[in-house]
Amino acid sequence: MLRIVAAILLLLFAVEATATEAGWALLREGEHVVLLRHANAPGAVDPTDFDIEKCSTQRNLSERGKQQARKIGALFAARAAPTERVLTSRYCRTKETARLAFGDAEEFAPLDPPPADEEARKEQLDAVLGKVRDYSGSGNLVLVTHLETIQALTGQSAREGEALIVAPRDGGLHVLARIIFN
């Protein structure tokens, strides 16, 4: 039984490594869009006194998350075509992930978690889809965001600090490859 479990674990790690290498191969070409979930930030929800303007009222990166963000940046610099532009949600954990990984980023409110109101949600997600569809740079575009936004755009989940290389398809985003930084 122990051997079977070990074999399954080895197979899973091999699949993750292959997926990650496919992601790097795409990013070396440039001209791709990356949805990057913010690095490790303990907790599941923001505190009840949440204020978008005050980091002290939000979930923030742990020391592990800060190290993870630096690693993301170092690997992007070493293994990918230049990052042409970085957009981030207005939340402190996404802005800090972007700053530690890439040095600079522009806030783009549609990368915030989608609201419950269906009309506002559609408008917000359409704004992100528009950015992806309109992107035509020679380097890569990185969008630092949240699990809820990634799920709404792709129908898939992502770990903290995971990158999904995406392309527009059928009114949403198709995941071409993933890069796992854990």
Which pLDDT band, with edges at 50, 70 and 90, does 15 fall under? very low
How many domains in the chain? Answer: 1
pLDDT digits over 44-79, tens only? 888 889 999 999 999 999 999 999 999 999 999 999
Per-residue confidence band for 9, with pLDDT thresholds at 50, 70 and 90: very low
Among left, alpha and beta (phi > 0; psi -120 to 50; other), residue 167 is beta
Q: Tell me the pLDDT tens digit for each residue of 21-47.
A: 889 999 999 999 999 999 999 988 888
Lookup: tokens for 150:
């990634």
Give which of 177, 175, 182 is closest to 159, Cα–Cα: 182
Predicted pLDDT of residue 21: 86
Q: Is the pLDDT of residue 164 over 60?
A: yes
What pLDDT, on a 0 to 100 scale, did the predictor assign at position 8?
45
- Distance separating alpha carbons of residues 101 and 175, to the nearest angstrom: 22
Q: Please give the Cα distance from 81 to 71 (Å, whole number).
A: 16
Share of the chain above pLDDT 90, in %: 80
Cβ atoms 88, 109 nearer than 8 A = no
* pLDDT single digits (tens) 99-124: 999 998 999 999 999 999 999 999 99
What is the reported pTM?
0.89
Instruction: Give residue 71's domain range.
Output: 2-179
CATH code of the domain covering residue 19? 3.40.50.1240
Residue indicated by tokens 């610099």: 77
The average confidence (pLDDT) of the chain is 90
- Per the CB < 8 A criterion, the answer to whether 103 and 147 are in contact is no
pLDDT of residue 62: 96
